[in-house]
Amino acid sequence: MDLAIVLSSGLLIGGIYAFVAIGLNLIFGVIRVANFAQGEFVMLGMFVTYLLQTNFQLDPYISAWLIIAPLGFILGAIVYILVIRRLLDDHYMQMFATFGLIFVFQNLVLSLSRGEAKQTKSVVAGKTINAFGLDVSIPRLIVLLVAIVVAYLLAQFLKRTIVGTAMRAVAQDQKTSTLMGINANHIYLLTFGISIALAAMAGALLTPSYAATSEIGFGFVLPAFAVVVLGGLGSVKGSLIGGILIGVVEGLAGYLIDPQIKQALWFTLFLIVLVIRPNGLFGKSVKGGMLA
């Protein structure tokens, strides 16, 4: 029974990692930008959700869809226009710029919150349901289910819509797609906006489970990068499965070995996968593939 509890907990944690990684992988798959500040957009989503509840009594499960995701898209578009677009041809400066965004957002929130953790309430916060004899956290279960739905809808969007097809075309060959009449800059802006919207929405859905602090984003982005590489660069399905796998491995490591080395264990796992499959479990070559 203890092992079943550990597996269920790891599955739910994996859903959180997967949700954050999906947007991160989308940016890399289309724009080829490693956004190290992705976790900070999760953190901003958490704090804005707190402010909306404090001032307007909005439940996080309502504001996540109606307000946080649209605001995240707008913020992502602004960051792309002001920062990322100017550095598309310089990958090293892209990394430095996204690292700089980490400190900008962290210090901004730190000054506004005065270092105090903010907890958002919800009607399901702290509640569990009994499934097969196990007490399952409802807020974390919601995040897992939403991550699955988002991954499915995003995959269908990329495969079956004109805009999604354009995104895949730009990801595979930006120059050729431009010659075919696709505006790559518009696709990049849309991609970055969607990615940040997903990150902010993830933050909103996490608020019933986690207190918002200015440093919390970094705790999500490291596992998310491991998920992206493990599942496959540019693979939506890989982000979902990789996130769940990382969560389960983390839970098993803490239960069977030592909680202090759980991160070391899943980093070891992802290094082994890289040696065996350099493109990840579900990834394709950088030249040929985006977003399965």
Q: At residue 4, does pLDDT exceed 90?
A: no
Per mean pLDDT, which range of 42-56, 185-199, 228-242, 274-288 is the poorest?
A: 274-288
Query: pTM for the complete prediction?
Result: 0.92
Please, are residues 33 and 14 in contact by the beta-carbon 8 Å criterion? no
Q: How many CA atoms lie within 13 A of 51 on its CB side?
A: 11
pLDDT digits (tens, 9 = 90+) for 135-148: 888 999 999 999 99
What pLDDT sits at residue 255? 75
Alpha helices in 161-261 (DSSP H): 162-172, 174-179, 184-206, 216-231, 236-256
What pLDDT sits at residue 285? 56
Average pLDDT, the chain: 88
Which amino acid is located at 214 in the chain?
A: S
**Rounded to whole angstroms, how far apart are CA atoms 280 and 191?**
22
| Higher local confidence (pLDDT), 218 or 234 | 218
pLDDT digits (tens, 9 = 90+) for 62-109: 999 999 999 999 999 999 999 999 998 888 898 899 999 999 999 999
Per mean pLDDT, which range of 73-77, 162-166, 174-178, 287-291 is the poorest?
A: 287-291
Please, are residues 78 and 189 in contact by the beta-carbon 8 Å criterion? no
What pLDDT sits at residue 130? 84
What pLDDT sits at residue 284? 63
**Rounded to whole angstroms, how far apart are CA atoms 176 and 217?**
37
135 beta partners = 130
What pLDDT sits at residue 288? 45
The pLDDT confidence band at residue 216, using thresholds 50, 70 and 90, is very high
The pLDDT confidence band at residue 291, using thresholds 50, 70 and 90, is low
| Higher local confidence (pLDDT), 239 or 264 | 239
The pLDDT confidence band at residue 229, using thresholds 50, 70 and 90, is confident
